[in-house]
């Protein structure tokens, strides 16, 4: 199976008043087709920034210094996303790659109903497809057909734009009805009871789990090939978390998409991922298949992470030391001040990712 | 027949969210009596403004002028008595001012002037404030810095004083050179007042909008919109502005009253509308020598200040109460609770 995304030597820096924050330093990743890649690490190690860099929406003052993000688009072309202009990126965002955010309550715009929020992505990326559907519905030739033909041929027509904005008339358009059908369908797909009613509700009227389902529905509305899930279940309680994980796994199969799953929860990783990348302070220290990683963790940081999972009946363990300041990170391996196996060379030279076993890459001087 | 019925049902069903929203807004307004009072006052004033030519028909020259906004003078009063204001009677329901201007006519047509001044100033400052505030808040950096320091400069000067200076300083004519042709824009005295009020008013909107945008633009849903492929303009207009506009609309509604007050103050100082123009501030100003009547009865000439004063007071009050109603109508987080 081929690579859907290939991130090569990605460097992201933030130029702040206090200094240059080296958020990502040479990230190398591959996401295969129809696979779930987990990204795990402590807060502030660059997990979310990796996801945002792939979409090209790193927040200011962040700047991508170098590197490539090769992405195989829906039409089979491979593009370097970092070299594309904004227009092409806008077509890819939402339609080829979409993102689920951590706080479902914050990721929904409070002033729009659920229907409007999901419809936005659909109308933006699938307008043509839906208009063709509408045209096929209208049998007789007449003004109605002419109007929709014009909408299809000239999507920027001002008169039509203004006309569809009039509240009650706008809702009567066949396109809006078709979009509504799509929205209700996708909500039903998310296992939301009574989708017709939920579509008319505002985000604050929904529970956290429901909100997250709506956010996932927004992300999946245009059948993306890559779904970036940024801690989608962190703010939910455990039973809802299990439902959402189930949902993501099932949807991944039906939509045949790849998932980049960002989390700090090892349990979730074990549950949903095929492969895992462990990140520390802007570096990837280990990439391995999920079973291999849990059975034989190679990097000392991965070992420490696995040991710090709380287990009943045992004393709680944590990694000694602090997450380094990314303005002045330690020289050499960034983990060496906290590493129990550190050697002199660790403080001098940055280790490179090496394949130690089949499909297991580690960046450590011990190997 | 059945098809019409089913179509009607379908129409009802699909427009249901809009109707539901409307119903909700009405119930919310019903629950707060103050906003009903505000709406009632403003409806009353709108009715007066619309019906002005009927309830106070313009008087033909020589008593009146061609321009209906110039208050007519009662020339039937003997010239020797004209300098003194006359109390209300049959021909002058609200009495007259000094120089025998008819107060009733002035108050009725002054309503139109008040609406014109209030709404035009607010709409213009709102537009300027929205555009500049949005640019400053969304893009930040040097643009933000320059705009904000400029607003600081304007805000630092007392508003009324700056207004007065601007009204005096603005030329009666602007010549805009477009290269191929010259455009001459004439400014009447009232236009200059409007312009001065706009120039003084917009910075406060810019600041509030910028602040709101700074708050909203880091929200997750803005990032989510960008991740869904929205352009900058779309993110701005569809996702950021609807979340920032409510405090500004409330502020605008409150300010409409304040602007009318400032305009009245300018008129009273003789800087506003031209002499004899139907404007509440001007009406009080016309008989300013008679506001204080005499030692034994200081309020003997009560009608010259009380009647236009009531008009100004209730008009401003109406807008302030409407500000509350606006909040109830517009804020989506207060909806359907």
Question: For the residues of A207-223, what is the DSSP string, one character each?
Answer: -HHHHHHHHHHHHHTT-
Distance in angstroms (rounded) separating the CA atoms of residues A210 and A128 = 30
Q: Which residue of B has its CA nearest to A100?
A: B224
Top mean-pLDDT range of B68-82, B90-104, B125-139, B323-337: B125-139
The Cα-based distances of B293 to A11, B85, B93, B290, B300 in angstroms read 82, 11, 20, 5, 6
For chain B, counts of helices (H) and of strands (E): 12, 2
- Using one digit for the tens of pLDDT, what is the confidence trace for B208-257? 999 988 888 888 888 888 888 788 888 888 888 888 887 888 888 888 88
Give residue B333's pLDDT.
Answer: 61
Q: Is B165 exposed, middle or buried (0-12, 13-18, 19+ CB in 10 A)?
A: middle
Helix B159-169 and helix B241-268, axial crossing angle in degrees, nearest 10: 70
Pick from B17, B220, B242: which is nearest to A107 by CB? B220
A89: left (phi over 0), alpha (psi -120 to 50) or beta: alpha
Three-state secondary structure call for residue A24: strand
Rounded to a whole number of angstroms, the distance between the first and last alpha carbons of chain B is 40
Residue B220 has its nearest CB partner, among A95, A106, A202, at A106
Let me know: does B38 contact B319? Beta carbons within 8 Å: yes
Pick from A214-223, A262-271, A294-303, B324-333: least confident: B324-333
> Is B74 within the bounds of a domain?
no
Give the pLDDT confidence score for residue B299 in this predicted structure: 79
Query: Is there a domain that residue B4 lies in?
Result: no
- C-beta atoms of A110 and B333 within 8 A: yes
Residue B197: give the domain boundaries. Answer: 115-330
Mean pLDDT, chain A, whole residue set:
83
Q: Which residues contact A287 (CB under 8 A, 6 or more apart)?
A: A29, A275, A276, A277, A278, A353, A360, A361
Structure tokens at A367: 């190997």
Residue B55 within a domain: no
What does the block give as tokens for A332? 């050499």
How does residue B12 score in pLDDT terms, banded at 50, 70 and 90?
low
Q: Is the pLDDT of residue A75 over 80?
A: no
DSSP secondary-structure letter at B102?
A: B
- Residue whose C-alpha is closest to residue A104's, from A239, A234, A276: A234
Q: Do A101 and B336 touch (CB under 8 A)?
A: no
Tell me, yes or no, if B217 comes closer than 8 A to chain A by beta carbon.
no
Contact B140/A at CB under 8 A: yes
Give the pLDDT of residue B18.
66
Closest in A99, A167, A168 to B227, CB measured: A99
- Over chain B, what is the mean pLDDT? 83
Residue B162 included in any domain: yes
Q: pLDDT band at B337, cuts 50/70/90?
A: very low
- Rounded to whole angstroms, the Cα distance separating B45 from B54 reads 14
Beta-carbon contacts of residue B310 (< 8 Å; ≥ 6 apart): none
ipTM over 0.85: no
Above pLDDT 90, what percent of chain A? 2
A48 dihedral zone (left: phi>0; alpha: psi -120 to 50; beta): alpha
Note whether B227 contacts A111, CB cutoff 8 Å. no
Could you tell me which of A1, A18, A8, A38 has the C-alpha nearest to residue A245? A38
* Percent of the residues in chain A that have a pLDDT greater than 70, as a whole number: 95
Dist CA B285 CA A81 (whole Å): 69
Give me the long-range contacts of A180-185 (CB less than 8 A, separation at least 24).
Answer: A180/A115, A180/A119, A180/B14, A182/A119, A182/A122, A182/A126, A182/A130, A182/A221, A183/A114, A183/A115, A183/A118, A183/A119, A183/A122, A183/A217, A183/A221
Instruction: For tokens 């200094």, name the residue.
Output: A19
Highest mean pLDDT among A290-294, A331-335, B59-63, B138-142: A290-294
Which tokens is B326 given?
């606006």
β pairing state of A258-263 and A275-280: unpaired
B144, B229, B241: best to mutate for the A interface, most A CBs within 10 A = B229
Residue spans of alpha helices (H) in B217-301 = 220-227, 232-234, 241-268, 280-286
| B142 contact residues in A (CB cutoff 8 A) | none
Q: Is A112 left (phi over 0), alpha (psi -120 to 50) or beta?
A: beta
Between these two residues, A74 and A17, which has the higher pLDDT value? Answer: A17
Give the pLDDT confidence of B253-284 residue by residue, as tens digits.
888 888 888 888 888 888 877 888 888 888 88
CB contact under 8 A, B227 and A94: yes
Provide φ and ψ at A286, rounded to 5°. Answer: -155, 135
- Does B24 fall in a domain? no
Q: Which residue of B has its CA nearest to A58?
A: B223
Q: pLDDT tens, A129-184?
A: 777 777 777 777 777 777 777 777 776 667 766 766 666 665 567 777 888 888 89
Is B72 inside a domain boundary? Answer: no
Residue B258: which CATH number? 1.10.3720.10
Cβ-defined contact of A125 to B229 (cutoff 8 Å): yes
A34 — alpha (psi -120 to 50), left (phi > 0) or beta?
left
Assess if residue B66 is contained within a domain. Answer: no
Give tens-digit pLDDT for B166-202: 888 888 877 777 777 777 777 788 888 888 999 998 9
Q: Into how many domains does chain B fold?
A: 1
Residue B102 lies in a domain: no
**Per-residue model confidence (pLDDT) at position B335:** 57
Enter the tokens of residue A137: 């519905």
The predicted model gives A257-286 an average pLDDT of 88
Q: What percent of chain B has pLDDT over 70?
A: 93
* C-beta atoms surrounding B148 within 10 Å: 17
CA distances (Å), A198 to each of A116, A216, A294, B22, B239, in order? 12, 14, 40, 19, 21
* pLDDT score at B122: 92
């Amino acid at each position: 199976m081929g690579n859907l995304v290939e991130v090569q030597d990605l460097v992201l820096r933030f130029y702040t008043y206090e200094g240059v924050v080296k958020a990502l330093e040479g990230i190398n990743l591959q996401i295969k087709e129809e696979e779930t890649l987990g990204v795990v690490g402590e807060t502030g190690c660059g997990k979310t920034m990796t996801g945002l860099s792939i979409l090209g929406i790193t927040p200011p003052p962040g700047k991508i210094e170098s590197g490539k993000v090769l992405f195989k688009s829906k039409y089979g072309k491979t593009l370097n996303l970092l070299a594309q202009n904004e227009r092409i990126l806008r077509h890819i965002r939402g339609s080829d790659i979409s993102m689920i955010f951590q706080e479902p309550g914050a990721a929904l715009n409070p002033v729009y109903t659920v229907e409007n929020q999901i419809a936005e992505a659909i109308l933006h990326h699938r307008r043509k497809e839906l208009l063709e559907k509408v045209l096929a519905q209208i049998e007789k030739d007449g003004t109605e057909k002419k109007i929709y033909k014009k909408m299809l041929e000239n999507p920027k027509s001002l008169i039509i734009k203004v006309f569809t904005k009039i509240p009650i008339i706008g809702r009567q358009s066949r396109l809006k009805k078709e979009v509504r059908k799509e929205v209700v369908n996708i909500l039903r797909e998310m296992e939301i009871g009574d989708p017709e009613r939920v579509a008319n509700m505002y985000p604050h009227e929904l529970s956290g789990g429901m909100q997250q389902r709506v956010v996932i529905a927004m992300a999946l509305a245009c059948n993306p090939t890559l779904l970036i899930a940024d801690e989608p279940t962190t703010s939910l309680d455990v039973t809802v978390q299990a439902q959402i994980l189930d949902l993501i796994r099932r949807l991944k199969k039906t939509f045949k998409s790849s998932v980049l799953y960002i989390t700090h929860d090892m349990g979730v990783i074990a549950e949903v991922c095929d492969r895992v990348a462990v990140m520390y302070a802007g570096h990837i220290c280990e990439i391995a298949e999920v079973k291999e990683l849990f059975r034989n963790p190679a990097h000392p940081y991965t070992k420490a992470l696995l040991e710090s999972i709380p287990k009943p009946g045992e004393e709680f363990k944590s990694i000694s030391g602090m997450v380094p300041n990314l303005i002045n990170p330690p020289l050499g391996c960034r983990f060496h001040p906290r590493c129990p196996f550190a050697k002199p060379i660790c403080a001098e030279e940055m280790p490179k990712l090496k394949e130690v076993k089949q499909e297991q890459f580690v960046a450590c001087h011990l190997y | 027949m059945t098809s019409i019925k089913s179509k009607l049902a379908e129409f009802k069903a699909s427009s249901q969210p809009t109707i539901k929203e409307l119903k909700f807004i009405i119930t919310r307004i019903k629950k707060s009596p103050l906003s009903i009072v505000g709406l009632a006052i403003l409806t009353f004033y709108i009715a007066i403004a619309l019906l002005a030519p009927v309830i106070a028909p313009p008087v033909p020259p020589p008593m009146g002028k061609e321009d209906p906004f110039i208050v007519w003078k009662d020339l039937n009063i003997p010239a020797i008595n004209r300098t003194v204001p006359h109390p209300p009677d049959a021909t002058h329901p609200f009495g007259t001012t000094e120089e025998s201007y008819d107060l009733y006519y002035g108050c009725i047509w002054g309503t139109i002037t008040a609406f014109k001044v209030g709404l035009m100033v607010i709409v213009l400052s709102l537009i300027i404030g929205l555009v500049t505030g949005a640019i400053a808040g969304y893009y930040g950096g040097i643009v933000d810095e320059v705009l904000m320091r400029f607003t600081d400069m304007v805000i630092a000067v007392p508003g009324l004083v700056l207004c007065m200076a601007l009204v005096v300083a603005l030329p009666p004519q602007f010549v805009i050179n477009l290269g191929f042709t010259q455009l001459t824009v004439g400014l009447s005295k009232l236009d200059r007042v409007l312009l001065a009020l706009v120039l003084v008013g917009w910075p406060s909107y810019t600041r509030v909008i910028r602040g709101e945008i700074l708050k909203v633009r880091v929200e997750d849903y803005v990032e989510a919109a960008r991740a869904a492929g929205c352009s900058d303009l779309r993110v701005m207009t569809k996702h950021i502005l609807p979340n920032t506009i409510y405090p500004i609309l409330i502020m605008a509604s409150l300010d409409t009253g304040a602007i009318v007050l400032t305009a009245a103050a300018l008129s009273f100082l003789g800087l506003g509308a031209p002499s004899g123009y139907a404007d509440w501030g001007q009406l009080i100003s016309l008989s300013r020598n008679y506001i204080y009547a005499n030692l034994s009865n200081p309020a003997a000439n009560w009608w010259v200040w009380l009647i236009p004063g009531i008009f100004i007071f209730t008009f401003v009050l109406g807008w302030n109460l409407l500000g509350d109603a606006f909040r109830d109508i517009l804020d989506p987080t207060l909806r359907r609770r």
